[in-house]
Amino acid sequence: MTTFAQIAPMLEGQAIEVPSWAYGNSGTRFKVFGTPGTPRTVEEKIADAATVHRFTGLAPKVALHIPWDLVDDFGALRAYAEEQGVGIGTINSNTFQDDDYKFGALTHTDPKVRQKAIDHHFECIEVMDATGSADLKIWLAEGSNYPGQADMRGRQDRLAESLRTIYDRLGEDQRLVLEYKFFEPAFYHTDVPDWGTSYAQVAALGERAVVCLDTGHHAPGTNIEFIVAQLLRLGKLGSFDFNSRFYADDDLIVGSADPFQLFRILVEVIRGGGYGPANPTGESEVAFMLDQCHNVEQKIPGQIRSVLNVQEMTARALMLDREALTAAQEAGDVLGANDIFMDAFYTDVRADLAEWREGRGLPADPMRAYAESGYQAQIEADRVGGAQLSWT
């Protein structure tokens, strides 16, 4: 049986990128809820994200969303983030909140609309250049609602052309990361509905185009860990958007709905070389990110809980006795192999992780430490007046 002491060195350097939008107001389709202490500026979002990193040591980067996080001077924003102890991570584009994109952006039949969307991505690349970001992530709310409404083949061709134009603008150390989602807001067909479509598009672009897997973007019952294994096998898994779901794109705290699924996913990530510290060939380029909207819970503790859940399930997955598992699999020992797998999942590593954190100058219980820190009360008192930021 693998021990925690054996896997502890492989936890060093684990990084889970947090999203700026998780700290703003969000809500249901019917109501965006305001909460005390919500950031009013991008700088306040970054300060909150840096707080998650201070208490966990796990969140050294903050993803930005353009134009939600648009500022006049991104060089200054980068400097501010570094003063707070974090860096700028993935830059996310937005082609779903402009009237011109009602019938598509990168897939639109009108070349002027397509160029507008492409120009927006060029702007995002300029933000990447100014902030030191390596990844441009694209999610497209594009498709159709009725049979015959759109030429599905034509839309794929136009998407390929648009993505090629954007890809060719990237720097040598930058990547295009294409996200997929099987429905919403297009319900008859979606232009990038699954990992296969995303893979087909990025494979045609080149080595620096990869797939983003959002754990909430699948039909019920989908074997997500199989998709992880395939994309790693093909060398095209670029990043995760970790969250949890019960029905669709719920964007809940990671591991809250199905912690066993999170464990199974991380087992395949590690097995496929997608976890840097565990990868003997060098640090993996698979980025761990969160994509969450906290509607009823406090936002900073919600992010703390998520990164801790990812760390815990990573530790359990690392403790899987792969030598024994392989032997059982090759011997056709069905129940024995399953027992070995389940033993790792049921291993309680919470006390070990608390001791591991204390050894690195971090609080043993980050959730309690944050609650006792007074930070929440301070931001609720300080952030009075002005407009609270939200994802709408």
Q: Hey, where are the domains in the chain? A: 14-306
Q: What would the pLDDT profile of 166-202 be if each residue is shown by its tens digit?
A: 999 999 999 999 999 999 999 999 999 999 999 999 9
Residue 347 CA to residue 320 CA, distance in Å, equals 10
Q: What is the mean pLDDT of residues 325-342?
A: 98
Q: What is the mean pLDDT of residues 13-28?
A: 92
Amino acid at 244: S
Q: What value does the CA radius of gyration of the chain take, rounded to a whole number of Å?
A: 21
CATH homologous superfamily of 14-306 equals Divalent-metal-dependent TIM barrel enzymes (3.20.20.150)
Residue 272 CA to residue 215 CA, distance in Å, equals 17
CB proximity list for 148: less than 8 A, separation 6 or greater: none
What local confidence, expressed as pLDDT, does residue 282 receive?
45
Nearest Cα to Cα of residue 174 among 89, 62, 67, 49: 89
Nearest Cα to Cα of residue 219 among 254, 194, 191: 194
What local confidence, expressed as pLDDT, does residue 51 receive?
98
Q: What would the pLDDT profile of 228-250 be if each residue is shown by its tens digit?
A: 999 999 999 999 999 999 998 99
Crossing angle (nearest 10°) for helices 152-167 and 195-203: 50
Nearest Cα to Cα of residue 266 among 240, 247, 244, 248: 240
What local confidence, expressed as pLDDT, does residue 229 receive?
98
Nearest Cα to Cα of residue 83 among 52, 43, 56: 43
SS3 133: coil
What local confidence, expressed as pLDDT, does residue 212 receive?
98
| Residue 342 to residues 234, 244, 339, 345, Cα–Cα distance (Å) | 28, 21, 5, 5
Q: What would the pLDDT profile of 65-74 be if each residue is shown by its tens digit?
A: 999 999 999 9
3-state helix, strand, coil in the chain (%, to 5): 45, 15, 40
Cα 31 to the chain's mean position, in Å?
24
